[in-house]
Amino acid sequence: MAGSTPVSLSADPPAREALVAKAANRIQFSPGREAWRRFRRHKLAMAGAVVLLAMIGAVLLGPLVWKVPINEIDFSSHLEGPSWAHPLGTDDLGQDILARLLYGGRISLAVGFCAMLVAALIGVTVGAIAGMSRGGVDAMLMWLADLFLSLPQLPLLLLIIYLFRDALTKVLGVEGGIFLMIVLVIGGLRWMQVARLVRAQILSIREKEFIEAARALGASKMRQVVRHILPNALGPVIVAGTIDVAAAIIAESTLSFLGLGFPPDIPTWGRVLFDAKDTIDVAPHWAIFAGAAIFLAVLSINFIGDGLRDAFDPRRVL
């Protein structure tokens, strides 16, 4: 075999073209498709994906089908258990819980995902910069992360919201303004864990031989990080991201409860749950359904995160 292939690697054009075409044709088996194939094998993750998709479908399409108004007060049917008229029962003002959960789910899920994206974006950027730069910059960014971690979050939230609430609602309207503010506040206070995670990953991965090999073959620093290091650091970040979604949904609930989030007439899941706590002894269904919605969403997101991590790690045989 040695020596049979000619000098320019291409003196036998037909054979070469056939080889190139054969290799290129298999590209349809793309990494994305491969990851999907592997994701499907993860049963819990698939179940999580189905549940989450069903929930997203329900909150998007549900209010179009279940046309009971969310704010109709009817004291004659207050704190009723599930019935045909109100499948999930009613609350203390006689409002239909199903309608409120369907409507509130839009906001809760959107807040969760957007806040996670904000946290992940800031976290990955800060972590990558800290991990790749030695000395001063790294130390400063990590001090910043420590600083944020040590801030008492609730007073800070109060301050930010009092300062910016009116200005933002003026520009973007009540819902839009508060949505943006809550997403930024939650995301902006949850990036530190991701940043530390990414930094730690980069510190270990950048010393690996394949990074040196990439450098030796002319990859710029940016390219080393984006193409070679970050994909290897992705697993833990995905898991942390899914936990952040869950945490953001819960954080939004806390804010709403304190009157700092959405106004009481916008029934996010957290809001509904907190409203329910006073009557949990006489009308447990109210709290149970609201809690179940949060629980199901968070659980399925965590399973999906697990599945994604496995699917994107080619070393794991699936």
Sites of contact with other proteins (CB under 8 A): 1-3, 5-7, 9-10, 16, 19-24, 26-27, 29, 31, 208-210, 212-221, 223, 227-228, 231-232, 312-315
Q: What amino acid occupies position 93?
A: L
Specify the residue, 198 or 301, whose C-beta has the smaller distance to other proteins: 198
The nearest distance, CB 88 to other proteins, in angstroms, is 45
Say if CB 198 and CB 120 are below 8 A apart. Answer: no
The nearest distance, CB 235 to other proteins, in angstroms, is 10
Specify the residue, 130 or 272, whose C-beta has the smaller distance to other proteins: 130
- Alpha-carbon distance of 243 to 247, in angstroms, equals 6
Concatenating the DSSP letter of every residue in the chain gives: -TT-S-TTS-SSHHHHHHHHHHHHHGGGS-HHHHHHHHHHH-HHHHHHHHHHHHHHHHHHHHHHHS---TT---GGGTT--S-SSSTT-B-TT--BHHHHHHHHHHHHHHHHHHHHHHHHHHHHHHHHHHHHS-THHHHHHHHHHHHHHHS-HHHHHHHHHHHHHHHHHHHH-HHHHHHHHHHHHHHHTSHHHHHHHHHHHHHHHTTSHHHHHHHHTT--HHHIIIIIIHHHHHHHHHHHHHHHHHHHHHHHHHHHHTTSSS-TTS--HHHHHHHHGGGTTT-HHHHHHHHHHHHHHHHHHHHHHHHHHHHT-TTS--
The nearest distance, CB 196 to other proteins, in angstroms, is 22
Specify the residue, 24 or 282, whose C-beta has the smaller distance to other proteins: 24
Specify the residue, 4 or 150, whose C-beta has the smaller distance to other proteins: 4
The nearest distance, CB 62 to other proteins, in angstroms, is 39
The nearest distance, CB 285 to other proteins, in angstroms, is 48
Specify the residue, 9 or 64, whose C-beta has the smaller distance to other proteins: 9
Q: Angle CA(313)–CA(315)–CA(318) in degrees, nearest 5? A: 80
Specify the residue, 17 or 166, whose C-beta has the smaller distance to other proteins: 17
The nearest distance, CB 143 to other proteins, in angstroms, is 22
Specify the residue, 64 or 317, whose C-beta has the smaller distance to other proteins: 317
The nearest distance, CB 117 to other proteins, in angstroms, is 22
Specify the residue, 232 or 279, whose C-beta has the smaller distance to other proteins: 232
Give, rounded to a whole angstrom, the gap between the first and last alpha carbons of the chain. 36
Give how far Cα 36 sits from Cα of 26, 30, 194, 243, Å. Answer: 17, 10, 25, 21
The nearest distance, CB 8 to other proteins, in angstroms, is 8
